[in-house]
Structure 1
Amino acid sequence: MNLDPNYIANYANTFITKIIDYSPQVLSAIIILFVGLYAIRIINRVIRRIMVKRDLDPTLTKFLADILLWVLRVLLFVTFIDKLGIGTSSFVAILGAMGLAVGLSLQGSLSNFAGGMLIILFKPFKVGDTIEAQGILATVQEIQIFVTKLITSNNQTIFVPNGALSNGTIINYSMQGSRRADLTFSISYGTDLKKAKEIITTVLANNPKVLTSPAAEVSVKNLTDNAIQLAVRPWAKNEDFGTVVSDTLENCKLAFDAEKITFQPYITEFSKDNKQ
């Protein structure tokens, strides 16, 4: 096949002309891309500093900064392809369809994402708080977007989905700063009730970790068929709660032993039908 030299020359001239005509558009698009990436980096740093200065939650600060970063990047990419002369309407439609498909396939993850947003915004707990939720008693180590990382007292790491966490009941033991122990002592009817209460009151008063305000309470809780039940309710700081509970139990037992007072053992009542 013979090629016409004039045809090749015309084609080459047309190609070069198109490149020359299109090169300013490509050059400006590339400049916009690099300048935009640099500007986004600067904006992101400024926004982070502003949020840090306003003492926003670190988790919220990181999350908002990351969202802003990706939104600006998407806008920059759309501007870049528009500057190249590529139609953006079909591209936006494709992005919308992809977003819908991804959203339908990740409903559980989106629920956890929404739960994370609720936790970050309304702050039912923060990092370092001791909480009880989903049948778990542990300390919050990290609040992530999809899960919350908890550390139990025996050093186990538990990840709880934020969706379930935000929709369930949360008991925050750290929010108020102090906590009351609810203990029950059972003594026999032959025990001097006033003396027993005085012994417990003295034990609590001698413990420096028991708070004086609110005052500890020692009162009769119940009268059963076998024993008098005393409610012992000392208050303690959150960090001293476990120590106060164990010290109260131990020191009351030792003080009762010294006064020849015994705890009434727990007796299970059986009906006649259960007797062998």
Structure 2
Amino acid sequence: MSADIVNQASDWVARNDGIILQYIINLAAALLILLVGYIAAKMISSTMVRVMEKRRVDTTITRFCGNMTHYAILTFVGIAALGRIGVQTASFVAIIGAAGLAIGLALQGSLSNFASGVLLILFRPLKTGEYVEAAGTSGTVESVQIFTTVLMTPDNKMVVIPNANILNGNIINYSRTGTRRVDLVIGVSYKADLAQTKAVLKSVLEKESRLLKEPAATIGVSALADSSVNFVVRPWVKTEDYWDVYFDLHENIKIALDEAGIEIPFPQMDVHLEKVEA
């Protein structure tokens, strides 16, 4: 009985030796594809991580992108290996495509925020510690995360903004250049001497040591308003000095104008009465 089985097996091997050899070759090729693909996936993902680390990309984004690249390459390598040993891979590709489409539709909002987060980290229009205005909110950047950006407002409120909202709108970065212009509008009475007023304003600026020499400050008449002649006062300061200088200049200008006898008017209306004879 056992001899018959051995003989049948030998005859089957003799008849199908070409097929068996081809299968062994295909299997060896599939294993080689897996090995080369694994090495390539590891090298490519590692290279991507190193490049992103050199560009100081957020660690979370770096690891996520590295892992995604690694597993994506392995997936295609696995499909190629299965195809090499004769497995029909069209169904696998269709399943992966359908799954990707379903996941994309289900997570389109999150994926949009993720993509926006990657762009924010790569191009860095805002950085941690900078004071910005984005998506209608002003505050100091606490962190730029994968899906959201966290801002701390001046009154110490934490605001979490989806990254897509930030990238789809205007971003005003007040900290990036290191200097800011203080814009003041000072109204004086129509009875005031304009040359004297300008001299008083200039003297206040000269006494403020935190102002920058360059660019030079601007002082000039900007409008003949309903109740006042409006002067613009526009000195430049370092960004970190902005609010202190802003408040101090208002106070010092008021004191200086009072000492010079220059009136700061308030809105008023003149009413003229006419007597009509019966």
- Shorter-chain TM-score bucket reads 0.7 to 0.9
2:267 alignment partner, SS class: coil
Structure 1 residues 112 and 269: CA distance shift in structure 2, 3 A: farther
Structure 1 residues 83 and 42: CA distance shift in structure 2, 3 A: closer
Whole-angstrom CA distance in 2 between matches of 1:47 and 1:168: 29
Whole-angstrom CA distance in 1 between matches of 2:75 and 2:102: 21
Match of 2:121 in 1: 120
Whole-angstrom CA distance in 1 between matches of 2:160 and 2:208: 37
Deviation, 1:260, is: 2.9
Whole-angstrom CA distance in 2 between matches of 1:205 and 1:87: 83
Match of 1:76 in 2: 74
Whole-angstrom CA distance in 1 between matches of 2:268 and 2:132: 34
1:222 maps to a residue whose letter is A
Match of 1:274 in 2: none
Deviation, 1:82, is: 7.3
**Residue correspondence of structure 1 range 22-33 to structure 2 within 5 A:** none
**Residue correspondence of structure 1 range 234-249 to structure 2 within 5 A:** 234-249=235-250
Larger gyration radius, structure 1 or structure 2:
2
Runs of 5+ unmatched residues, structure 2: 6-26, 272-278
Structure 1 residues 269 and 217: CA distance shift in structure 2, 3 A: farther
Paired residues of 1:78 and 1:88 also in contact (CA < 8 A): no
Match of 2:142 in 1: 141
* Comparing 120-129 and 161-170, the one that deviates more: 120-129
2:128 alignment partner, SS class: coil
Structure 1 residues 164 and 136: CA distance shift in structure 2, 3 A: same
Structure 1 residues 172 and 80: CA distance shift in structure 2, 3 A: same
Match of 1:58 in 2: 57
Deviation, 1:49, is: 4.0
Paired residues of 1:44 and 1:65 also in contact (CA < 8 A): no
Whole-angstrom CA distance in 1 between matches of 2:225 and 2:71: 71
* Comparing 220-229 and 107-116, the one that deviates more: 107-116
Q: What percent identity do the matched residue pairs reach?
A: 40
Q: Could you list the per-position Cα deviations for residues 191-211 of structure 1 after superposition, in whole angstroms to 9, with x for gaps in the alignment?
A: 222222212111112112111
2:212 maps to a residue whose letter is L
**Residue correspondence of structure 1 range 196-235 to structure 2 within 5 A:** 196-235=197-236
2:202 maps to a residue whose letter is T
Paired residues of 2:198 and 2:219 also in contact (CA < 8 A): yes
Match of 1:20 in 2: none
Asked whether 1:171 is paired with 2:172, we answer: yes
2:215 alignment partner, SS class: coil
Structure 1 residues 167 and 269: CA distance shift in structure 2, 3 A: farther
Deviation, 1:189, is: 1.6
Whole-angstrom CA distance in 2 between matches of 1:183 and 1:114: 40
Give the structure-1-normalised TM-score: 0.74
Give the structure-2-normalised TM-score: 0.73
Whole-angstrom CA distance in 1 between matches of 2:182 and 2:266: 21
1:175 alignment partner, SS class: coil
Paired residues of 2:147 and 2:163 also in contact (CA < 8 A): yes
Deviation, 1:50, is: 4.4
1:95 maps to a residue whose letter is I
**Residue correspondence of structure 1 range 144-163 to structure 2 within 5 A:** 144-163=145-164
Paired residues of 2:41 and 2:74 also in contact (CA < 8 A): no
Asked whether 1:195 is paired with 2:207, we answer: no
* Comparing 118-127 and 165-174, the one that deviates more: 118-127
Match of 2:16 in 1: none
Asked whether 1:67 is paired with 2:62, we answer: no
Match of 2:253 in 1: 252
Q: Count residues in correspondence.
A: 250
Deviation, 1:65, is: 4.1
Deviation, 1:87, is: 5.8
Deviation, 1:176, is: 2.2
Deviation, 1:245, is: 0.5
Whole-angstrom CA distance in 2 between matches of 1:64 and 1:248: 46
RMSD: 3.8
Structure 1 residues 52 and 104: CA distance shift in structure 2, 3 A: closer
Runs of 5+ unmatched residues, structure 1: 1-5, 11-24, 271-276
2:267 maps to a residue whose letter is Y
Whole-angstrom CA distance in 1 between matches of 2:223 and 2:205: 21
Match of 2:99 in 1: 98
